[in-house]
Copies of this chain bind each other. A is one copy, B any other.
């Protein structure tokens, strides 16, 4: 499907599918999909249906509103097409896509919708869905990600989840989870609604909690403006702050390597792995957060997060056969911790807040990435504070005990350092920090680790505290790392995905973990079944005039 590599770096002046406009504290994201603007050939994006390209622009727009527009306090999502809000994911695209593409596409769209909720919850930018025409499938799921849903009441517009009756799949972009757990639609009504291809509109949509209000067309524009103003009024975004432009991300990319300023990756196609290196900052942090905002996209925590974000998306989408990602870091741990401290000390500041939440979201992207993650901690590495999260996110970590006697006997031994940032803001989607998740059910272990905040922990200490998995010395080092990565490459990639999706999320579940666990796992199963994706399955047969053929056996 994706012959060329998918590019995630976009900017508003080149958007094909979205128009962004501003009216003081209210921004409007108008979806106006270019039918001929599909990411790959073979389908037309009719009726504001979307593909990955449309969603990449949406993701970019949401990010830029947060960083570049401190003045924006409410965001209206609406449609530029008459009578249709959004028809959801393009079905021809889904039908033609291989399994892995569908799954990766859904993951990214889910992350973008979670990002919209994150902006509402944590950024003082509340999203309002102004559903000015029919919203079906992923179109309604986009509205569900907003805080308030207005539906035009015109006897024809409706919201619907027609995936099950028409396509034999689930509303898998959070639809089922948000209908039940966010909108609190009663389960039997939700069931009925999700089997009615034509959906529900008007007063009934309100009664069933599918939308918050149904507004007649004559009062539409004024009511949308009123609601947006009301939502903007709840915000604590600052007055008069200058935005931070997300300047173009410098990157070089070929078949074997990807490089940014602080992040680089070597793609080892023979071994099926990627060696990723992340550099800490070169300098002390700015004197205060205002100065950091003036550094803007060059401020190390923001720069490194943007690079990691782009790398994760690039590798996930374009390099499916590289099943193991090995993380290394280099730099001065003290400088990472100093940058963390600036962010934490500026917790009331909008820019510090945005950087922390962006780092949080990027690390969450890593958590739901279907690749084995290994952290390798050697002398000269910089797994401290924010960068230590990479090791805590890993499925397994190795820290060298001592030094490489033959290569550099005089080096400082590898150390890791827990910082305050590891104990609070960077929660996983289960609502816990990676440290809490690691010690889930082991309060003594958690407390013991907490007592060593700020200390440089060499391998024996770190292993004893349970912060790294293994601490081999230099005699065993190369062999252990080699075995771990080779072994990983020999296992069933599917089984690894399932294993990691379970073990990474101990403890409580949230709407977000339900979406990536329960909902996505069922959807992936369905995507893989003949009733959906076989030659006579519903996804393939849609629009052909032929009925799908189902195996009637219930599994």
Contacts and interface: CB of A to CB of B under 8 A. Distances in A.
Interface of A: 99-100, 103-104, 163-165, 167-170, 176-177, 179-181, 184, 186-192, 194-195, 272, 320-323, 370-371, 394-397, 437-442, 445, 466, 469, 487-489, 491-509, 514, 517-519, 521-526, 528-529, 531-532, 538, 548, 550-555
12 contacts: A168-B494, A170-B495, A180-B502, A186-B466, A187-B438, A188-B438, A192-B469, A370-B554, A489-B552, A491-B550, A494-B526, A495-B531
Contact of A187 (B168, B184, B437, B529): B437
B498 A522 contact: yes
Contacts of A503: 176, 179-180, 187, 190-191, 194
A321 B552 contact: yes
B551 A493 contact: yes
Contact of A396 (B191, B442, B493, B523): B191
A529 B492 CA distance: 10
Contacts of A496: 164, 554
A51 to B, nearest CB: 18
B186 A272 contact: no
Main secondary structure of the interface of A (DSSP, over half): helix
Of all A-B residue pairs in the complex, the 10 with the closest CB atoms, nearest first, are A184-B441, A168-B492, A521-B521, A509-B509, A498-B522, A517-B518, A176-B502, A320-B553, A525-B525, A180-B506
A58 to B, nearest CB: 23
A397 B507 contact: no
A548 B165 CA distance: 37
A491 B161 CA distance: 14
Given A321-B554, A506-B187, A548 B492 contact: yes
Nearest to A516: B518
Given A191-B396, A396-B191, A509-B509, A554 B499 contact: no
A100 to B, nearest CB: 4
Contacts of A498: 170, 522-523, 525-526
Given A164-B499, A469-B188, A501-B518, A524 B492 contact: no
Contacts of A190: 503
B554 A187 contact: no
Q: Among A370, A394, A395, which residue has the most Cβ atoms of chain B within 10 A? A: A395
A524 B184 contact: no
